[in-house]
Structure 1
């Protein structure tokens, strides 16, 4: 199944229906009904509109960011005394905030003016017509859109319109225990390839006393995201555009290598909940975790922490790191006055000094090119690695971020392979059929020819 369409060329997907089981399992929002298709929505005219006096900001506080969010709100209100921003904890994670937002949409009441949108959930709001394009706001407020990190702002551009702005943005980083590496006589750096790490792993396990040389991130939340790194490194992927390739020779080889690291070579494991916590506790010598976990790891680890780019594979040594994290969007079902105030808030919290403050507090990367990171880097120089890696990031595979419920299906398949030692080829063949079913039923009919 091959359909070569640019990611900006969507028609509205109002009424998209993912497999009910997949959506119910993750507790996320339904994608049925709920609004008019928005891909051809006209820019909203805010001329003569006065901003609302009070707005709600719904957040799940990514990267334990509640304190810095409060700080940014206070500074925004000081600069804009006519606008009050109420910070609402709308969920403990992206799934919970998605459910709350969908419930408010269905009730047509209690909507926020600004909402956190994760990489795999925000597109569903777009398909349901639940968010507005922010282009007219960015123009009216003279937001310097070309100052955003290009790979981060582009994630929210569809049909030539901008649907959100980057906020708590992250990439995976390779974290390693410098003390363990030194005890094993290894270089003080991340491995350049997974094969190189495979050569290091037995030495690490023998010298460190840790249970694992490497631990894979918890599958429920991270498999679809982080395993793109290995799939790309071996020349495969979840998909190439809309061609589902998870069962390709290259993709199967990548996941077979991962399975062998656990069952055959016995130096790797799979985190049951949070790999960053396992790493900080010394359970493993290395792992992959979000840049948003950086400050937490540095604070809790009792050893010297190293960070590096993600390893490459036999087919691709670079450009194997996916973008990720969350952005900020504005609902369609609120007044123009609220939308304008929301736009002003978006403008403020994404200013260079604001994003530098947010990065310093969380470890998330600065979203603006002009952000002055000198003070932040003096205190936490490891953040520079995340910034540098931006130059070699890739937009995620369509199958993960655009197919409703696909992320959960990928997690199930990864669990079968990595925790149950299931046959890799047959598992990936089954996953391909599932993903193609979602695509054929829910997405393909709504794409532009």
Structure 2
């Protein structure tokens, strides 16, 4: 029986967040785990609580940019930062603030507590930025966007909307992705299968026994980085979800049935296994014939694989589809730094989000260009598979609150799915316990801040 969480008592024009795209072969893995709990904080204003008039502000000439170099992007980031400095005169300290999103979050939390050495721009993942908003740790960008003339309408709609809450813009898209269905074209040809991704999971169940070239037909992504994210495709395709806004659906009959099907693919059908590390690396090595991995894994997979790589939309379910979550990270500005630092940070965000910058970033990583006006002609000549990720945006959905709004929920989901898939635990028991845990997180960490 699902347990509804009491609704919020504050207004919000949009409560939409996105999923994390983990880095793939040759790139950085992005963990989505527990960490800093929700705490109090202040919004973006001067010390007196008044909104800042950025038209009268002179930006500082030195700032820091905290990043984990999503998708193995350190070199292209360095190139873009050098171009920014040449154009503006603002020097940027390129700081590796962690190897994944959790490590950045821990460092950012520590710096907030000490009010010391904060960056002007920080990478914010899908499962972290909302708690920064709750804490008052990040500044709304609206006045800075207006001052710099940033055209939000030129950003891809679903991506920019994912950082809107309470009628404000809290970050702008950066390393953005969708999960893709990767398949080994050589294995498919040997099995006599069409050169395309399966349209439905039912169709793939028919194909899987024919895929005998690899050790396993399908590899579920590693649980720590992917379970809560990618399994939304299975849940949504079967007419359920982790939650319907704040109403938990974790232990609903439909969710239990969906996860029982997932478990059956490993133990009864025996055509699927769970990756112990990044499944994109496993796929690139030819161990499995198919997997689901981030668009951010694309360039690494193409470089590492010795076979022809195919990509497609995520398979549809029996109720809905195709349907897919988006993922990845955005860039935000800390609330407690000076307006002069904030404006310089916003200038960097504007530069990193320019059409030509996002094309360069996409070409180096596989993440999708986030601007509509970006000229991707040359990009598609070298990496035509990126078009599939762009096309799949048409069938994307914003993620379930239970995954992206609750601190640590993604790791709790991963633990529960691990019990189901790696220990063959009782599905209903695991999901009932998970729902109780998630409700406790909401009650203790979220509801007091929003009531």
Give TM-score, length-normalised by structure 2.
0.92
Pair 1:191–1:7, CA change in 2 (3 A): farther
The 1:385–1:26 alpha-carbon spacing in structure 2 relative to 1, beyond 3 Å, is closer
In the alignment, what sits opposite 2:420? 417
Q: What corresponds to 1:21 in structure 2?
A: none
CA distance in 2, matches of 1:440, 1:170: 31
* 1:55 pairs with 2:63: yes
Question: Alignment partner of 1:285: what SS?
Answer: strand
Shift of 1:277: 0.4
**1:42-72: CA deviation from partner (whole Å, max 9, x where unpaired):** 6432122111010000100000000110111
Name the residue aligned to 2:155: 148
The answer on 1:299 being equivalent to 2:303 is yes
Aligned to 2:72: 64
Distance 1:335 1:405, change over 3 A: same
- 1:79-116 CA-to-partner distances (Å, cap 9, x unmatched) read 112x1111100000101111111111111111000000
Q: Is the 8 A contact 1:201 1:213 kept in 2?
A: yes
Counterpart CA distance in 1 for 2:11 and 2:86 is 38
Shift of 1:444: 3.0
> 1:231 is paired with a residue of what secondary structure?
helix
Root mean square deviation, CA, Å: 1.9
Answer yes or no: is 1:119 the counterpart of 2:126.
yes
Distance 1:411 1:79 in 2: 44
Q: Where does residue 427 of structure 1 map in the other structure?
A: 430
Indicate the residue corresponding to 2:405 in structure 1.
Answer: 402
Contact persistence 2:37–2:407 (CA under 8 A): no
Measure how far apart 1:3 and its partner are.
4.9
For the structure 1 residues 341 and 361, does the alpha-carbon distance in structure 2 shift closer, same or farther, using more than 3 Å as the test? same
Helix, strand or coil at the partner of 2:277: coil
How far apart are the structure 1 equivalents of 2:190 and 2:370?
Answer: 37
- Residue aligning to 1:193: 200
Contact 1:37 1:127 in 2 (8 A): no
- For structure 1, which segment, 434-443 or 51-60, has the greater mean C-alpha deviation from structure 2 after superposition? 434-443
Deviation at 1:4, TM superposition (A): 5.8
Q: Is the 8 A contact 2:42 2:335 kept in 1?
A: no
1:156 is displaced (CA, Å) by 0.6
* 1:295-374 aligned within 5 A: 295-318=299-322, 320-374=323-377
> In the alignment, what sits opposite 1:19?
none
Larger RCO: 1 or 2 (CA < 8 Å, sep 6+): 2
Mapped pair 1:164 → 2:159? no
The answer to whether the Cα contact below 8 Å between 2:217 and 2:288 also exists between their aligned partners in 1 is yes
Worse-superposed segment, 245-254 or 91-100:
245-254
Decide whether aligned partners of structure 1 residues 2 and 124 sit closer, same or farther in structure 2, where only a CA change above 3 A counts: closer
Aligned length, in residue pairs: 428
1:280-295 map, 5 Å: 280-295=284-299
Report the CA distance between 1:439 and its aligned residue.
1.9
What does residue 173 of structure 1 align with? 180
User: 1:7, 1:244 → 2: CA distance?
Assistant: 19
SS in 1 for 2:216: coil
Candidates 136, 147, 151, aligned match of 2:143: 136
Aligned residue for 2:93, secondary structure, equals strand
- 1:75 maps to 83
Residue 368 of structure 2 aligns to a residue whose secondary structure is coil
8 Å Cα contact 2:368-2:389 kept in structure 1? yes
2:28 is matched with none
Q: Among 388, 392, 410, which residue is 2:391 paired with? A: 388
Can you give the 5+ residue segments of structure 1 that lack an aligned partner in the other structure? Answer: 12-24
Q: Within 2, Cα distance between the matches of 1:360 and 1:212?
A: 31
Instruction: Work out the CA distance in 2 between the residues paired with 1:397 and 1:232.
Output: 10
Distance across 2 between alignment mates of 1:247 and 1:235: 14
Mapped contact 1:10–1:447 kept (Cα < 8 A): no
Give CA deviations for 1:204-246 in whole Å, capped at 9, x if unaligned. 13xx1x1110000000111111111101111111000111001
Shift of 1:125: 1.2
In the TM superposition, residue 427 of structure 1 has moved relative to its aligned partner by: 1.2
Aligned to 1:379: 382
Q: Could you say if the C-alpha distance between residues 380 and 10 of structure 1 is closer, same or farther in structure 2, counting changes exceeding 3 Å?
A: closer
Name the CA distance, whole Å, in 2 between partners of 1:200 and 1:301.
22
Distance in 1 between residues matched to 2:43 and 2:88, nearest whole Å = 33
Flag structure 2 segments of 5+ consecutive residues without an equivalent.
15-31
Question: Shift of residue 430 of structure 1?
Answer: 1.4
Distance (whole Å) between structure 2 residues aligned to residue 216 and residue 317 of structure 1: 19
Question: Could you tell me how far apart the structure 1 residues matched to 2:450 and 2:34 are?
Answer: 27
Cα drift, residue 446 of structure 1: 3.8
2:54 maps to which of 46, 49, 54: 46
Which residue matches 1:262? 266
